[in-house]
Amino acid sequence: MRRPVILIVEDEPGIADTLQYALRTEGFEPRWSASGEAALAAADDAALVILDVGLPDLNGFEVFKRLRARHETLPVLFLTARADEIDRVVGLELGADDYVTKPFSPRELVARVRSVLRRSAAPAGLSGAAPASFHCDDGKRSIHYYGQALDLSRYEYGLLKTLIGRPGFVFTRERLLALVWDDDTDSLDRTVDAHVKTLRAKLKAVAPMLEPIRTHRGVGYALAEDLPASRPQA
Ligand code: CA
């Protein structure tokens, strides 16, 4: 089988080298462009693009826009170095598939590449489907976890439903607030962390050995993508 081509757009040769090595070791075919213009010329047969935001010619956001104009479904994973860049990637919803902040571990990055490719390979209509461990019934506003109905408050339900809809995607607290809470909600109720905590306790009661909600320090929360299909025996 042909190895998937991963285009790395990064002006720092040290980072590009590390990435190329890690990707090659894991069965990918890395290519490297050191500028935005070079990347636009090289993206045609790429399966995924790893795109640094800070480039010498065009910035990463501009490159992203032009890439998407030509290749509508090409998955893009942003590399960001600063908090304000993360805010733009996440907050403005450019439609990037994921992002990794520098410094990053090559292993983590390759894992993200795999998961983005897996998501983008899912047939239309199935992408964003709940993982096998969860079953959502929207009509009843109920969620089953390994076959067991969860007794959830309104916001716990909203949080879990949102996370399940996009496994592996890191939602910021601000984004979760915007998606799950009403604008006029009492401010005491608007603590994402507190609701995640009670939600975790309820999930733990069903499967004590698993942690389905992962914390991404300084950023937010994501649903784990590696949950077993059946409940592990304690
Ligand atoms: Ca750079």
Residue 126's pLDDT is: 40
The verdict on residue 41 lying in a domain is yes
Distances (CA, A) of 41 to 13, 28, 44, 49: 19, 20, 7, 13
For residue 73, how far is its CA from the centre of ligand 1 (angstroms)?
A: 24
Return phi, psi of residue 214, to 5°.
Answer: -95, 140
pLDDT single digits (tens) 199-220: 999 999 999 999 999 998 878 8
Interacting residues of 89 by C-beta distance below 8 A, sequence separation 6+: 53, 78, 80, 96, 99
Assess whether pLDDT exceeds 80 at residue 152. Answer: yes
User: What mean pLDDT is predicted for residues 58-68?
Assistant: 89
For residue 14, how far is its CA from the centre of ligand 1 (angstroms)?
A: 11
Instruction: Tell me if 52 sits within 8 A of 9, measured CB to CB.
Output: yes
Residue keyed to tokens 């285009």: 7
Residue 148's pLDDT is: 94
Instruction: Tell me if 188 sits within 8 A of 233, measured CB to CB.
Output: no
The verdict on residue 230 lying in a domain is no
Residue 127's pLDDT is: 40
Q: What CA–CA distance (Å, rounded) separates 151 from 58?
A: 50
Strand partners, 99: 78
CATH of the domain at 206: 1.10.10.10
The verdict on residue 210 lying in a domain is yes
Of 120, 147, 178, which residue is a domain's last?
A: 120
The one-letter amino acid code at 56 reads P
177 and 83 within one domain: no
pLDDT confidence bin for 31, thresholds 50/70/90: very high
Range of the structural domain that residue 178 is part of: 134-223
216 and 143 within one domain: yes
Residue 158 in 3-state DSSP?
A: helix
For residue 34, how far is its CA from the centre of ligand 1 (angstroms)?
A: 9
pLDDT confidence bin for 122, thresholds 50/70/90: low
For residue 80, how far is its CA from the centre of ligand 1 (angstroms)?
A: 9
For residue 221, how far is its CA from the centre of ligand 1 (angstroms)?
A: 26
For residue 131, how far is its CA from the centre of ligand 1 (angstroms)?
A: 35
For residue 178, how far is its CA from the centre of ligand 1 (angstroms)?
A: 31
User: What mean pLDDT is predicted for residues 3-9?
Assistant: 94
Assess whether pLDDT exceeds 80 at residue 101. Answer: yes
For residue 125, how far is its CA from the centre of ligand 1 (angstroms)?
A: 36
